[in-house]
Amino acid sequence: MAETGRQPVVRVEHLSKHFGQGTARVDALVDINLEVFPGQVVGLMGPSGSGKTTLLHCIACILEPSSGRITLDGEAVYDERWLKADLRRLRLDKIGFIFQYPNLLPFLDGSDNVAIVLDLAGFSAAAARTRAIELLDYLEVGHRKHALPKQLSGGEAQRVAIARALANRPRIILADEPTAPLDSARARIVMDLLRRIAVEQSAAIIVVTHDKMILDRFDHIYRLRDGRLETDAAAGRQLATTAVV
C-alpha cells in the first residue's frame, strides 16, 4: 500500500498487543502493519473480538501496545515504549475522535460542544467560539448551533460530533462505528463528509465499521481476524477538493 513520493500520516509496524500472562495470555493483536496516507479514508473490518477497537485505541495512544512501532504525522510516538511524555497533549494536537454515538454534553448547545475541545487546548473563548461556528457552518448544521443535544436529530448530532473532532485541525481522525446508529442514507452522507474532510485537510481517517453499505466510500479496507491482519483493496474514488478548512 506504499505510495511513491508521499509519507503516511499513520504508520504501524509489527504492532502486537496481548493481555495477561502464561496460560491466561490473550493475543489481541499480532504483528500488525498498516499505513494511511494524506487524503485517505480506510476501513477496519472484522468480526466482534477480532481486535479492531484494540488497534484503534493503540493508534490513538490510549492503550499501550506490547511491542512494535507507531508513527503519527511523521513523528515516532511508540517504539517498544512510549516516546512522548504527555500523551494527552499528543491526542489534543494530532487526533480527532468520532464515536458510535455522538456523546455530546447534554447541558451544552451545539457550538459549546465543539468549543470545549479548543478550551482544553488553550484557545481563548472568542477564538474557540469562532472556530466552532465555522465548523458547524462547514458541516451544514450552523443553524443548530444553539440547540441542545436532545433537540438534534441523529444525523445533526453526529455532524456536531464530527465538528468537535475537527476542532483542533487534527491530521488523524479515528472513527469507531460512526454510522451504526444511522439509517443507510444518513450513513452515506456521514461517509461522504469524512471523505471530503480527508481530501480538503490532507487528513488520514480510519473507520471501524461493520456496515457493508458504505464499503465503496473507502480507499482501502483492512480486515482483522483473531488479531491478525488481512488486506483487501477497496474501490475508492477521488473527490474534488474545494476550500481547506
pTM of the full predicted structure? Answer: 0.85
- The yes-or-no verdict on residue 98 having pLDDT over 80 is yes
Q: How many domains does the chain have?
A: 1
Query: Residue 231: its pLDDT value, please?
Result: 57
- The yes-or-no verdict on residue 143 having pLDDT over 70 is yes
Look at 93 and 66; give whichever has higher pLDDT: 66
Q: What percent of the chain has pLDDT over 90?
A: 59
Other Cβ atoms closer than 10 A to 67:
15
Query: Residue 5: its pLDDT value, please?
Result: 56
The phi, psi pair for 164, rounded to 5°, reads: -60, -40
Residue 183 within a domain: yes
Query: Residue 232: its pLDDT value, please?
Result: 52
Contacts of 163 (CB under 8 A, 6+ apart): 110, 114, 132, 135, 136, 138, 139, 141
Instruction: Specify the range with the lowest mean pLDDT, choosing from 124-128, 192-196, 223-227.
Output: 192-196
Contacts of 172 (CB under 8 A, 6+ apart): 9, 10, 59, 72, 73, 94, 95, 96, 203, 204, 205, 206
Query: Residue 115: its pLDDT value, please?
Result: 94
Query: Residue 120: its pLDDT value, please?
Result: 84
Confidence of residue 241 (pLDDT cuts 50, 70, 90): very low
- The yes-or-no verdict on residue 168 having pLDDT over 70 is yes
Average pLDDT rounded to a whole number, residues 149-165: 91
What is the span of the domain harbouring residue 92? 38-62+85-233
Residue 210 within a domain: yes
The CATH number given to whatever domain includes residue 197 is 3.40.50.300
Cα four-point dihedral sign 180, 185, 186, 187: positive
- The yes-or-no verdict on residue 236 having pLDDT over 70 is no
Residue 58 within a domain: yes
- The yes-or-no verdict on residue 233 having pLDDT over 60 is no
Look at 2 and 183; give whichever has higher pLDDT: 183
Which tens digit of pLDDT belongs to each residue from 41-77? 999 999 988 999 999 999 999 999 999 999 999 999 9
Residue 137 within a domain: yes
82, 89, 98, 100 from 177: Cα distances, Å = 27, 25, 8, 5
Query: Residue 2: its pLDDT value, please?
Result: 52
Residue 49 within a domain: yes
Residue 79 within a domain: no
| DSSP H helical ranges for the chain | 52-59, 87-94, 110-120, 125-138, 154-166, 184-200
Residue 9 within a domain: no
Residue 211 within a domain: yes
Query: Residue 164: its pLDDT value, please?
Result: 93
Confidence of residue 101 (pLDDT cuts 50, 70, 90): confident
